[in-house]
Amino acid sequence: MRHPFRRPALALTAGVLAAGGLGTAVLAPAPAPAATSATQIKVLFDNAHAETAGNADWIISTSQPNPFAQNSAPTKETDWTGAISAWGVALAQHRSSYYLDTNPSGRAFTYGSTSNAQDLANYDVLVIPEPNTAFTAAERTAIMTFVKNGGGLFLVIDHDQSDRNNDGVDSVDIANQLFSSNGVDNTDPFGVTAAYQNISNENTSNLGSGASTHPVVKGAYGTASSSILRGATTFNLSTSANPAAKCLLYRAGVSNTGTSGCFIAVSTFGSGRVILWGDSSPIDDGTGQSGNTLYDGWNDPAGTDAAWALNGTDWLGGLS
């Protein structure tokens, strides 16, 4: 794996995001990056842990593992099919900088396996958008080894009791099990744990103290200053467990220096970086496979949700 902190930074020109008709997130044409590198940031979006269970459709494309097989040069989010295709298409517009794959259904996470084409050692960033089946013990070890060795983990969870496939665990349970039983560091390795909450409908612009200059907040895709909460949870921080744990965005009305009520948290572990987000609604672009009821949180005017996701991917990949 290439170490994300040692890559030359790329000056990316942001793709401007605008709301289109009928909830379609349209991406305006984006020029090529001002500076490019022969080294692409390789991003793996997970779809092996029931990310499409129930009403969820947290995939960037129905073409898996390679989303570019659906459309090799997407310019709008409907060029790929999935409720988080806007995220994928925005990155795909900078294809000289990003290479994207999906971890397909039935494929377990591994680290260092030559028989798995989607082995985590082949990637720089792993996006897990609201997992609904628990990671095995071997998968938890693989994820933590990936981060420890320089990988970037973007973990999005949802509210308490959001068990979409009725298997007895939800994304809050799954996240906390990763944090406490992983075979690498079982003592709160990120300094961040998930709270068991169900926050039905709020908006927040309560940035953490000192967060305004963080690259996830102020990045190539604009300034991330607010987010929606539509059935959400928050995180608790412990800087005694990991001094790098930091809250970028708190729930409205709580202290922006506190250890609870954090909606978007960042941390580091070993040589890697981590982002944790307490709701899947902000990454939903409103369109996807038929049969799902989806809502456009990506372009919701109450939040700058696209900027959080895209600036965050840049930061995890070492571009900022």
Element (H, E) at 204: strand 202-204
Convert the pLDDT of each residue in 215-232 to its tens digit: 999 999 999 999 999 999
For 247, list phi and psi in degrees, rounded to 5: -100, 125
For domain 8-316, give the fold: Rossmann fold (3.40.50)
**By CB neighbour count within 10 A (0-12 exposed, 13-18 middle, 19+ buried), where does 133 fall?**
middle
pLDDT at residue number 30: 36
0.85 exceeded by the pTM?
yes
**By CB neighbour count within 10 A (0-12 exposed, 13-18 middle, 19+ buried), where does 257 fall?**
exposed
pLDDT at residue number 137: 98
Q: How confident is the model at residue 4 (pLDDT cuts 50, 70, 90)?
A: very low
Convert the pLDDT of each residue in 129-180 to its tens digit: 999 999 999 999 999 999 999 999 999 999 999 999 999 999 999 999 999 9
Convert the pLDDT of each residue in 12-29 to its tens digit: 333 333 333 333 443 433
Q: Kindly report the length of the chain.
A: 320
pLDDT at residue number 95: 86
**By CB neighbour count within 10 A (0-12 exposed, 13-18 middle, 19+ buried), where does 168 fall?**
exposed
Q: Is the dihedral of CA 253, 132, 40, 61 positive or negative?
A: negative
